[in-house]
């Protein structure tokens, strides 16, 4: 049992990533507030970024730039960090787009609460409640 605990503690970045991912997913799926859903998405994506970046890290390693360290030093793997830069750009665009949609929804319904939006759908849009899913 202590072996398992030790394994978990040594790999704590992955543990934190798993925890963050759970928190994020839970927030996305259960919160009716649109902003909190968006926050949940961002937490979830950060968890994945952490998973990637932690996988490239070596304790005591340095950034693989020739000017910073000599050829002798232990370099960390820069690839996951570079990939996550792309991931961050994507997550920024998702956030911006979601915010724009929230603004539109707020203008139409006057609220950012999903439950109230559903309740007001008929009076705002004149739809006759064809929601059957």
Partner 1 sequence: MTALIRTNLPVLVVIAPLFVAFILPPLARRIRLVEALAFLATVFGFGAAGYLAAVVFAQKGSPFIYQLGGWPAPWGIELVAGNLGVFFLLAVTGVSVPVLLFGRGNLTAEVGGAGRVTRFYVLYLLLVGALAGMAVTNDLFNVYVLVEVVTLSCCGLVSARRHPRAAEAAFTYLVLATLGSALVLGGIGLLYLLTGHLNMGFAARELGRAWPDYPHAVLMAVSFTIIGFGVKAALFPLHVWLPDAHATAPSPASAILSGLAVKGYLICLLKFLYGVFGGVLLRELAVHRILTLLGVTGIIAGSILALAQEELKRRLAYSTVAQVGYLVLGFGSLNVTGLVGALFYLASHAVIKAALFLSAGAIQQATGKRKIRELAGVGRKMPVTMAAFTIGSCGLIGLPLFSGFIGKWYLLLGSWEAGMFLPVAAVLAGSVLCAAYLLPVIRAAYFAPAPEEDWQDPGRPQRLALLMLATVVLALGVRPGPFLELARKAAAELLAYY
Partner 2 sequence: MRDFILKRAASLILPFIFVYGIYVILHGAVSPGGSFAGGIIVGLSFIAFSTIYGIEEGQAKLPEKVLVWTESYGTLWYGLMGMVGLGRGVPFLANKLAGVDPGTPGTLSSGGLIPLIGLGVGIRVASTFVTLFFTMMEEER
Chain residues binding partner 1 by CB under 8 A are 21, 24-25, 28-29, 34, 37-38, 41, 44-45, 47-48, 51-52, 55, 79-80, 83, 86-87, 90, 93-94, 97-98, 101-102, 104-105, 108-109, 117, 121, 124-125, 127, 130-133
89 lines the binding site for partner 2 (CB under 8 A): yes
Question: Quick check: helix, strand or coil at residue 44?
Answer: helix
**Taking the CB of residue 133, how many other CB atoms lie within 10 A of it?**
3
Query: Which sign does the torsion angle of CA 81, 87, 93, 98 carry?
Result: negative
Nearest distance in Å: CB 11, partner 1: 11
Nearest distance in Å: CB 64, partner 2: 12
DSSP class of residue 33 equals B
Q: What are phi and psi of 117, to 5 degrees?
A: -60, -45
d(C-alpha 124, C-alpha 5), whole Å: 55
Nearest distance in Å: CB 28, partner 1: 6
**Terminal Cα-to-Cα distance of the chain (whole angstroms):** 46
Q: Which is nearer to partner 1, 22 or 62 (CB)?
A: 22
Residue numbers at the binding site for partner 2 (CB under 8 A): 63, 65-67, 85, 89, 96, 99-100, 103, 107
């Amino acid at each position: 049992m202590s072996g398992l605990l030790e394994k978990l503690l040594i790999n704590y970045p992955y543990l934190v990533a798993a925890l963050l991912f759970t928190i994020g997913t839970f927030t996305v799926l259960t919160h009716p507030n649109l902003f909190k859903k968006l926050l949940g998405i961002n937490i979830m994506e950060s968890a994945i970024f952490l998973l990637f970046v932690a996988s490239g890290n070596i304790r005591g390693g340095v950034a693989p730039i020739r000017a910073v360290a000599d050829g002798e030093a232990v370099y960390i793997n820069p690839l996951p960090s570079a990939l996550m830069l792309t991931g961050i750009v994507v997550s920024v665009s998702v956030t911006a787009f979601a915010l724009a949609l929230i603004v539109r929804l707020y203008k139409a319904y006057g609220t950012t609460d999903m439950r109230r939006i559903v309740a007001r759908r008929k009076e705002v849009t004149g739809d006759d409640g064809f929601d059957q899913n």
